Amino acid sequence: MEVSVIGNPQARICRAELAYRELGFRFGSQVISAESKNRVSFCNPNSKWKEIGIRCSPMSVKCEAIVSDQVPFLKSTPKPRSLESVRLFVGLPLDTVSGCNNVNHLKAITAGLKALKLLGVEGIELPIFWGVVEKEAAGKYEWSGYLAVAEIVKKVGLKLHASLSFHGSKNPEIGLPDWVAKIGEAEQGIYFTDRYGKQYKDCLSFAVDDAPVLDGKTPMEVYRGFCESFKSAFSDYMGNTITGITLGLGPEGELRYPSHQQDAKLSGAGEFQCYDTHMLSALKHYAESTGNPLWGLGGPHDAPAYDQQPHSSSFFSDGGSWESQYGDFFLSWYSSLLISHADRVLSIASSVFSGIGVPLCGKLPLLHQWHKLRSQPSELTAGFYSSNGHDRYEAIAKIFAKNSCRMIIPGMDLSDEHQSPESLSSPESLLSHIKTSCKKQRVVVSGQNSSAPVPGGFERIVENLKDENAAIDLFTYQRMGALFFSPEHFQAFTVFVRNLNQFELSSYDQAAEVEAETMNIGSTTGAAASLQAA
C-alpha cells in the first residue's frame, strides 16, 4: 500500500511494501467505521488533497509514503504574524499507559502519531499520572510505560509535552496511588469534602499541602520526589523531544476547587469545598486570628447546592452575603489557600527543573457559567476571588510570573453565541479577562479547547490564536481517541490545520480535480487495538 501526502508531484518521500494487516480504533465496544468494522475512513468529496493512507505490519509500526502523481502541489504562504509562532500539539488519551505500565492501543496510537506528523502537527501532550507511576509504594517509581511512549514520539519525529498529573480521573478510571488511597481510608481528612460529607477522592485537599499525612511526608515533599524522579528518568529526552512540562494543580489538573462534581448538573453555582478536617481547622484558626471566632465554625450556611441556581438562596444575590464583611472574610481565606497551593507546586517545579531549558506550565479553568452575574458564583465556589475590586486573575498571574511559568487556558473553542441564555455565560469575556491579566504580568499564554466538540469551535480557536494582545505560543487540541479519528471530526481537524498553516494551491495545479481525501487506519478482526476517547 502507498501513503499519499501533499507535496510537489515530482517529489518522492519514500515507498514501502507493507503487510495488509490494518489498525483500527475502537471506543469501548463500539467500532468507529465508515465502510466496515475494520476500517476508518475520512473522506471529503470537495477536498483538494487526494489521499493519506496508513497501514502497519503486525510486526512493525513502519509507515512510509510516496507522493501521488495526481496530488496538486500546495504552496505555503506567509502566515499572519500572530500565527507564525503558534505551535500545534494534540493530546494523547488519558489512559495511554495503564495501571500496570502497559501502553494501551499501542499500534493505533503509533499510526495516529504518524498521521498527525504528516498533517504538520508539531507534537503531542502526554498525561502522566501519579497513580500509575508511584502506584504501589511511596518512592517506588515505575516509568517504563511512559518512557516507551516517549521513545515512539521521538522516532516518529514529534515533540512531547509532559503533563504531570497529581490527580485522578473518573473516565477513564485512574485513581491516586494505592498507598495514598489506603492512607485515605484511615485519614479521610486528606480529601476535599462538601457540607454533606461527600468526599472528592481524585485530589488531595489544599489544606494538607504542608501536613505530614503521607507516611510522615507532606504532599509537597512527595510531589518534589516525583518531579525529581521524572527529571532523572527522562533526562535523555529533556530539551530535545520534551519541550514542555505541565504541573497538575488540582482537579483534572486545573487550579481550582472541585466545586462542580461530575455527577452534578453544571447549571448550578457549585459547592464550597471546605469541610474536611484540615480545611475546617485552617478556617477556625484564621477566624480566631481576625477576631471573629464564630465565623470559623463552617462554610456559608446560605449558599446554594451543586445543582441549584445562584439566586435560589441569598448568598450570591445582589446585596447577599458574598458582599458582606463575612463574605469577604470567607472568600478571601478560601481563595488564599488556592493561591498558596499554586505557589507551592510551581515553586517546587521551578526549583527541580531549573536549568534544563524546558518551559513549565500550569492550567486554569474557564469557569464561564454565570459570568454575567455580579457575584460570578461559579468562579467563587472554585476559589477565584479578590477583595476591594482587585483583579482575581491578576493575583494568580503574579504567582505564575513569580515562578516563570506559562498559563494554559482551556475553552478557546467556546463562543457566547452557543451558550444557553439562562446560564448567563460568557466564555469570550472571561477568556479575554484572563488573557489581559496575563499580559499585565507578562505571563505567556498557551491554549486548549474544551473537552467536547462545539459548533464553530475550530473557527473560534483560530480567532483566539490571531489575538495579537494574547501572544499565544502553543495550542494543544484535546484529545486523541475514537471521536477524534471519526470521519466527520478528523476532516474538520484537517481543515483547521490547513488554516493554521495557510496553505493554498499554486496556479499550476488549480485546474486539477481531486475527488477525495481518505485516511485509513483499519484492523483485522480480533486483533484491533482499542483506543479509548478521553
Using alpha carbons, select from 35, 61, 124 the residue that is nearest to residue 487.
Answer: 35
Residue 334 has pLDDT above 80, yes or no: yes
CATH architecture, range 87-267+328-498 = Alpha-Beta Barrel (3.20)
Residues 267-296, mean pLDDT to the nearest whole number: 95
End-to-end CA separation in angstroms for the chain: 31
**507 against 227, higher pLDDT:** 227
Residue 263 has pLDDT above 70, yes or no: no
* Whole-number Å distance between alpha carbons of 428 and 411: 9
Residue 321 has pLDDT above 70, yes or no: yes
Using alpha carbons, select from 340, 334, 332 the residue that is nearest to residue 209.
Answer: 340
Q: CA distances (Å), 437 to each of 69, 406, 431, in order?
A: 51, 13, 10
Residue 377 has pLDDT above 70, yes or no: yes
The answer to whether residues 475 and 447 touch, using CB atoms and an 8 Å cutoff, is yes
* Whole-number Å distance between alpha carbons of 510 and 188: 67
**261 against 96, higher pLDDT:** 96
Residue 387 has pLDDT above 80, yes or no: yes
Mean pLDDT for all residues in the chain: 81
Q: Are strands 30-31 and 26-27 parallel, antiparallel or unpaired?
A: antiparallel
| pLDDT, tens digit (0-9, with 9 covering 90-100), for 404-418 | 999 999 999 999 999
| pLDDT, tens digit (0-9, with 9 covering 90-100), for 40-76 | 333 333 433 333 444 433 333 333 333 333 333 333 4
Least confident of 151-155, 351-355, 461-465: 461-465
The answer to whether residues 377 and 425 touch, using CB atoms and an 8 Å cutoff, is no
pTM of the model: 0.83
- 81: its cell numbers: 504574524
* Whole-number Å distance between alpha carbons of 325 and 227: 41
CB atoms within 10 A of CB 156: 17
Q: What are the φ and ψ backbone dihedral angles of 447, each rounded to 5 degrees?
A: -115, 155
For 314, the enclosing helix (H) or strand (E) is none
Angle between helices 144-156 and 106-119 (to 10 degrees): 30
For 29, the enclosing helix (H) or strand (E) is none
Return the domain boundaries, the chain: 87-267+328-498
% the chain with pLDDT above 70: 77
* Whole-number Å distance between alpha carbons of 164 and 169: 13
**116 against 69, higher pLDDT:** 116
- Confidence label for 524 from pLDDT (cuts 50, 70 and 90): very low
**Cell 487506519 sits at which residue?**
521
Residue 533 has pLDDT above 50, yes or no: no
